[in-house]
Amino acid sequence: KAGVTQTPRYLIKTRGQQVTLSCSPISGHRSVSWYQQTPGQGLQFLFEYFSETQRNKGNFPGRFSGRQFSNSRSEMNVSTLELGDSALYLCASSAIKTGELFFGEGSRLTVL
């Protein structure tokens, strides 16, 4: 069974640009969550999507947005990038019954 797939794995952007990250969940998983990981703040929850609807949202500015498609694939977008957005962005999917999250390898974003 294929795991969670995130693309791209690495990317470099400059301040003011925008970026879109993609996540394909484990087959059959309908919940997709996004986390930001930085050395200073650790792992912080961004948002969760279930059946194309945002079910939970963390404390991030509106520049951070996401969506989920009918095949459960998800994208997150960050507009007007700031230096502080440099981080590892992790996507996780989960099955309803078991509850644990399965993470992808992450997308490492560097903002210059």
Chain residues binding other proteins by CB under 8 A are 4, 6, 31-33, 42-43, 45, 48, 50, 55-56, 58, 90, 92, 94, 96-106, 108
Residue 99: CB minimum distance to other proteins, A: 4
Question: Dihedrals φ, ψ of 5, to 5°?
Answer: -115, 125
Question: Cβ closer to other proteins: 18 or 52?
Answer: 52
Residue 49: CB minimum distance to other proteins, A: 8
Per DSSP (E only), the strands in 4-106 are 5-7, 10-13, 19-24, 31-38, 42-50, 53-57, 64-68, 74-78, 87-94, 101-103
Question: Cβ closer to other proteins: 24 or 31?
Answer: 31
φ/ψ region of 42 (left if φ > 0, alpha if ψ in -120 to 50, else beta) reads left
Question: Cβ closer to other proteins: 18 or 56?
Answer: 56
Going by their DSSP bridges, the two strands 87-94 and 101-103 should be labelled as antiparallel
Question: Cβ closer to other proteins: 9 or 15?
Answer: 9
Residue 62: CB minimum distance to other proteins, A: 19
